[in-house]
Amino acid sequence: MPNHIIIKKKIPTYKKKIFVSGDKSISIRWVLFASIASGVSKAQNLLISEDVLAAINIVKKFGIKVVQRKGFFVIFGKGINGYKYKQNMTINAGNSATLGRLILGLIINCNKTIKLIGDKSLSKRDFKRVTSPLSKFGAKFKLQKNFSLPLTIQGSKKIKSIEYNEKRGSAQCKSAVMLAAMRASGTTFIKAKKSRNHTEKMMKNLNLPIKVIERKNHDLIKIRKVKKIKVINYTIPSDISSSAFFIVLTALSNNSELVIKNVNINPSRVGIITILKKMGINISFQNKKIYKGERIADIKIKSSGSIKPINCPSRLNASAIDEFLVIFLVAAKANGISYFKGLAELDKKESPRLKWGSKILSEMGIKNIATKDSIKIFGNPSLKINKKITIKNYLKDHRVFMTSVVAALSFGGLWKIHDSKAIRTSFPDFLNVISELKKQ
């Protein structure tokens, strides 16, 4: 299979029901919690992507048995202190900052020096944001000069609880501290700007000693030392971040209708729905239910004739952080100027995504003005692309690839989009779902 895709035509009208793969954030968290549970945990619909497989490989390195059976995964947890550490061992988080950052919290008490590495993209990302609070627990870290990977962690047997104020709205930083707090003597107090709360929900579901007080703009979280974790059997719901590509494709196409089954609609993740509704897109939730504290629903979307521009409130940023690239495509077709601000974090993702958003729009012929934390997009409801566009992202960002595919299928033109293999990170099934939509 070539490592690029050529798209020459817009997607024809469709009326379909689809399933997308399991939620990446929940899949990684399930692997980590199951690996320190006392006993055998099972998961169905676990996302089988490189990020989740990297998590499985790390826990296997620590001596935990993981097996894939027909339709489910099994993890044989050896208890909260069941990891076996070896001197100078190296663990590899691949492309996943979630894994790289959370695992450091989980091994805060490792009695050996452990090296953490990652791929080219992860090796450019900031790790001080987690090593700085985690070192207060008593662990020692050595990072590269620019605070990136590779790094080493030397844990401590005497982990002391801390107080931590998380101001970025980063669930990765919050969760790394929460996992370390489970090993600390005393109570850890966290004040965290709102961000996705799957770690909190999983801990509550496991009856672990956690208390969360929700305020308007932040949460107060208290965690006491954990002695034992019971097994955690989980059917992982579908990922709204993967669904986002099909939500936008449908919103931008002609007379199409789509239902995406069984998607996690945790309020800390549905920023894209709120934003697109404000832009006049027809989206609704059906068959709502609650599963292990997480909200789940089928998402129904219809093509939209006219799209309103948006001055996007920055309080929605954390809940849509992985979706802005595709949201910008909707703004490209809006009837006026859209403005997105407070987005400095976007340039700190798998690749500088604010710059990439601006680049893709410019290639499409959409005027836009980007600063280091904002973008103004001059929408054109009658946009038709008649030229050749090539997209090559040297950091092989999965979401840059998938966004470019949605742009090509929505606006026309002749596109050559490199690095198809990048989808293996989060959504290996992406191109298969596209083929399903094309079938008459």
Query: Which of 171, 263 has the CB closer to ligand S3P?
Result: 171
Give yes or no: 239 in active site.
no
Query: Which of 194, 300 has the CB closer to ligand S3P?
Result: 194
CB of 429 to ligand S3P, least distance (A): 18
| Of residues 158, 195, 196, 203, the one with CA closest to residue 179 | 203
CB of 424 to ligand S3P, least distance (A): 15
Residue 150, preceding bond cis, omega within 30 degrees? yes
Element of type H or E holding 265: none
Helix axes 50-61, 24-35, angle to 10 degrees: 10
How many other CB atoms are there within 10 angstroms of residue 308's CB atom?
A: 16
Q: Which residues bind ligand S3P (CB under 6 A)?
A: 25, 98, 170-172, 175, 195-196, 321-322, 345
How many other CB atoms are there within 10 angstroms of residue 388's CB atom?
A: 10
Out of 119, 322, 397, 419, pick the active-site residue.
Answer: 322
Please count the CA atoms within 13 angstroms of the CA of 397 that sit on its side-chain side.
25
Sign of CA dihedral 31, 401, 264, 318: positive
- CB 95 within 8 Å of CB 51: yes
CB of 194 to ligand S3P, least distance (A): 11
CB of 399 to ligand S3P, least distance (A): 9
CB of 15 to ligand S3P, least distance (A): 31
Strands 282-291 and 72-78: unpaired
- The dihedral region occupied by 255, where left means phi > 0, alpha psi between -120 and 50, and beta the remainder, is left
Query: Which of 352, 413 has the CB closer to ligand S3P?
Result: 352
- Which residues are designated catalytic? 322
